[in-house]
Amino acid sequence: MKLMIRMFVLVLIVMAVQAVLADERINQVHHFGGDTLYCTQADGCWLVNMQGETLWEVSQATIDDALATACETGTSGYIEAGMGTYGPSTIGVSCYLGYDPSLKLIGYDEWGKVNTMMFPTTYEPVYAPNNAEPMPVPTRRPR
């Protein structure tokens, strides 16, 4: 019986991991009060709340124009995207010499905290950084 319960729990964990990996939102770990950002090269970006309602959309043409302007001058700029669930949201564009062009979502969470998330213009999801560092090797034995 215990084996069956363990196997059932294992199956549920595998299913949950697959569901998370299948999610194509940009903000995989960044918190914006339950709002999620989706982007495609065909449509641009749009913010969706926890109920699945689209809060705002920014066309790919608008993003391309803002990036072109930023890259011409080697600076950054902002696109006024719209209201998120807990406050205004903007998309920042950056194109500094020597760096890849990038985008940044700026928005609020349910506590009124401003959160930001940089993401590539290829619209790859942003996951948690891998902070795993190897354990240091002791140089001498403790006494």
Question: For residue 11, is it within any domain?
Answer: no
pLDDT single digits (tens) 47-88: 999 999 999 999 999 999 999 999 999 999 999 889 999 999
Q: Of 2-6, 65-69, 115-119, which range is least confident?
A: 2-6
Question: For residue 126, is it within any domain?
Answer: no
- Cβ–Cβ under 8 Å, residues 127 and 117: no
Question: For residue 17, is it within any domain?
Answer: no
Question: For residue 67, is it within any domain?
Answer: yes
> Could you give the percent of the chain with pLDDT greater than 90?
62
Question: For residue 137, is it within any domain?
Answer: no
User: Average pLDDT, whole number, for the chain?
Assistant: 83
pLDDT single digits (tens) 124-133: 988 877 665 6
Backbone torsions φ then ψ of 114, nearest 5 degrees: -80, 130
> What pLDDT score does 143 carry?
62
Which residues span the domain enclosing 52? Answer: 24-120
Backbone torsions φ then ψ of 74, nearest 5 degrees: 70, 40
Residue 90: enclosing H or E segment and its boundaries?
A: strand 87-94
State the virtual CA torsion across 32, 34, 37, 38 in degrees, nearest 10: 170
Question: For residue 134, is it within any domain?
Answer: no
Q: For residue 103, give every residue at least 6 positions away whose Cβ sits within 8 Å of its Cβ, in sequence order, or none.
A: 45, 63, 91, 92, 93, 94, 118, 119, 120, 121
Cα 30 from Cα 69, distance rounded (Å): 27
Question: For residue 30, is it within any domain?
Answer: yes
Question: Which 3 state secondary structure label does DSSP give 38?
Answer: strand
- Cβ–Cβ under 8 Å, residues 89 and 106: yes
Question: For residue 2, is it within any domain?
Answer: no
Cα 81 from Cα 103, distance rounded (Å): 13
Structural domain count of the chain = 1
